[in-house]
Amino acid sequence: MDLQLPELNLLKMLPEIFLFLWALAIITFDLGTRRKTGATVGYLSLLGLLITGLILVFTGYGRGFGNMFYNDPLALFFKMIFLGASFMAIGSSFGLTNQKIVNHRGEYFALILFSTVGMMFLSSSNELLSLYIGLELTTIPLFVLAAFFKDNKLSVEAGIKYLVVGAFSSALLLYGLSFLYGMTGTTDILLMKVNLAVTQLKFEGNIGLVLIITIILLLAGIGFKLSLPPFHQWAPDVYEGSPTPIAAFLSVGSKAAGLVAFAKIMVNGLYAFYDPVMRPNDWGVLVGVLAAAAMILGNVVAIRQNNIKRMLAYSSIAQVGYIMIGMVSFNELGLASVAFYIFAYMFANMGAFAVVAFFEDKTGSCQIESYTGLAKSSPVLSIAMTVFLLSLAGIPPLAGFLAKFYVFAAAIKMAQAEGSYNWLYWLVGIGLLTSVFALYYYANVIKTMFFSDADSPYKLSFTLPVFTVIMIGLVGVFLFGLYPEPIMKFASEIPTSLGFIVD
Amino acid sequence: MLYYLGLAAVLFSIGLFGVITRRNVIGILMSLELMFNAANINFVTFNKFILNDGLTGQLFAIFIVVVAAAEATVGLAIVLLLYRNWRGINTDNVSIMKW
């Protein structure tokens, strides 16, 4: 048998390669200077991310590694999000005075960068094997980061929970992938699409038990990464226990990675199964039910939380519900709205977590009550937090509103176009209804900060990196709320490049 | 071929059962390994019996072994932390956070 070596075209992977080497260099630098570098490693990591972004812009579209590595609009868009999330996570870790982070800055920042490389690699992979490797490269550093406060019981508990759940979900995913490989005889996602259609024709559209099991396994595997109910229980615990910037990174970066995996395997790979001509909404309804569960459960349970990190965790579960509405409205607006949603969500959520991280570091508390009267003592911080929370709730001039609007618009458009997609109306209805609950608990925090007679005992002043992160968040939330066209235009290239018909 | 797939399914089920019922973290990690290896067997089986012209499935299996080893390494490190903080690795005790 001869092995034909595919064309490598390594230049297309340059951003990933660069960032990986940069992360290694950071560890080496940190060790070489005997950990006396202070904040320098942090600034170096930020610089690395910026350079990677530049390289990314110049790399452009194309393929590498045979057909394993695609730089399509989907990959580029999500890489932007990963770099942004990583930038903001690192920025908000700067001010942290926790001894574990101060003494182990090198590993901490390098692990975030490694995880980012994994996400970037995942978003470019067009093949099950590289997709799986990317997913693992994303999560394994995050296990370590979640348990980073080694002698804090909460952090270690978060670490072990995340580890068991993460490994469990990737085992489920793998078992599903193995069946997919067996059914289609290939690991290339584009080829898989064709082969599945052929297999389906052979069995006259009777997809059989194996495919159902496969779809359930894949859904469970990715659902754990997305914290989609009923696979969500780990999320609040892990967010509460792990260092706050890591919780933020988990809720945006790792979630976006899950979404990419979902878009690639389910929406793109199993394309044949929702092609309206062949089989309408086979597993779409199932995902729709899970999305509804996510919105209801996330928003309702968030109301009774008094720890702000847990509240944000439940809110992020609810947000996944909204995102999944866009995912299951299989039209050209669907995937674009998903991409825009996660983009807007990144600014608001990373910003909110940056405020929480800063507050927690200065006061040692994550309870919502301790925000009482904060507006008087540190107005800028409270106003920033208010804007982020309002954007998460979806209040008009902010990016979060447009994101929700696009998602609902995609669903309604699909429901009107295809009679068999009537259930999307229900989903939109649930989405609108639960938004009201969401507004309640976000407004509760705002009320605590602004409308309270008690004075806050804390007087907080900004440090530069935290200020930068919060500013990036504010600018993003306002700018893309008022002027979404460029991002939306970019986002709408995603479905086209995946072969969706644009009408 | 069905025997092999059956073996994989049995392994997977044992692993799944183990992860859910085990109270010892090491036990959970071992059960997870079983699940990974079930997927491995599947990949190699499909490669051998359905497409005996490529190496993809076998390569996939090798990659899974490597990744599982990495996961086990990190896992055992965290188990060590667990032991230091709780003086035990029983998961019943490790639940400070609820709701």
Which has more confidence, A267 or B15?
B15
Phi then psi for residue A127, to 5 deg, are -160, 140
Are residues A497 and A73 in contact, defined by beta-carbon separation less than 8 angstroms? yes
Query: Which of B39, B63, B75 has the CB atom closest to A171's CB atom?
Result: B39
- Which residues in chain A have their CB less than 8 angstroms from residue B85's CB? 151, 153, 156
* Span A267-288, pLDDT tens digits: 777 765 545 444 545 677 888 8
* Span A291-327, pLDDT tens digits: 999 999 999 988 888 889 999 999 999 999 999 988 8
**What percentage of residues in chain B have a pLDDT greater than 90?**
49
Q: Who's near A1: CB < 8 A, 6+ residues apart? A: B53
Residue B93, pLDDT > 90, answer no
**What number of C-beta contacts closer than 8 Å exist between A and B?**
116
- Is A172 near chain B, with CB under 8 Å? yes
Query: Which of B25, B51, B95 has the CB atom closest to A185's CB atom?
Result: B51
User: How many CB atoms are closer than 10 A to CB B1?
Assistant: 11
- Is B75 near chain A, with CB under 8 Å? yes
Interface test with A, best of B33, B71, B90 (most A CBs within 10 A): B71
Q: Where are the alpha helices (DSSP H) in A364-452?
A: 374-377, 379-393, 399-417, 423-450
Query: Which of B19, B42, B82 has the CB atom closest to A179's CB atom?
Result: B42
Angstroms from B89 CA to nearest CA on chain A: 10
What's the average model confidence in pLDDT over B61-81?
Answer: 92
**Residue A501: its pLDDT value, please?**
46
What's the average model confidence in pLDDT over A382-410?
Answer: 90
**Residue A503: its pLDDT value, please?**
38
* Span A446-489, pLDDT tens digits: 888 888 777 777 777 777 788 888 899 999 988 888 888 888 88
Which has more confidence, A102 or A173?
A173
- What is the Cα–Cα distance from A80 to A86, expressed in whole angstroms? 10
- Is B83 near chain A, with CB under 8 Å? no
Output the CA torsion sign for A177, B64, A242, B83. positive
- B97 with A237: Cβ contact below 8 A: yes
Which has more confidence, A493 or A388?
A388
- Which residues in chain B have their CB less than 8 angstroms from residue A1's CB? 53
For β-strands A62-64 and A69-71, DSSP reports them as antiparallel
**Residue A280: its pLDDT value, please?**
44
- B38 with A147: Cβ contact below 8 A: no
Peptide bond into A457 cis (omega under 30): no
**Residue B53: its pLDDT value, please?**
63
* Span A156-185, pLDDT tens digits: 889 998 999 999 999 999 999 998 888 888
What's the average model confidence in pLDDT over A28-53?
Answer: 84
Residue A435, pLDDT > 50, answer yes
For A416-433, the DSSP string reads HH-GGGTHHHHHHHHHHH
The ipTM, to two decimals, is 0.94
* Span B26-61, pLDDT tens digits: 999 999 999 999 999 999 988 888 776 678 888 889
Interface test with B, best of A172, A175, A213 (most B CBs within 10 A): A175
Q: Which amino acid is at A351?
A: G
Angstroms from A193 CA to nearest CA on chain B: 17
Output the CA torsion sign for A480, A482, A484, A485. negative
Query: Which of B12, B75, B79 has the CB atom closest to A175's CB atom?
Result: B12
- Is A285 near chain B, with CB under 8 Å? no
**Residue A203: its pLDDT value, please?**
63
- Is A209 near chain B, with CB under 8 Å? no
Which has more confidence, B93 or A325?
A325
pTM of the model: 0.91
CA angle, residues A38, A101, A49, in degrees to nearest 5: 70
Q: Which token pair is A21? A: 């080497």
What's the average model confidence in pLDDT over A82-104?
Answer: 82
Lowest-confidence range among A102-106, A269-273, B20-24, B67-71? A269-273
Angstroms from A315 CA to nearest CA on chain B: 14
Q: Who's near A131: CB < 8 A, 6+ residues apart? A: A122, A125, A189, A261, A264, A265
- B51 with A236: Cβ contact below 8 A: no
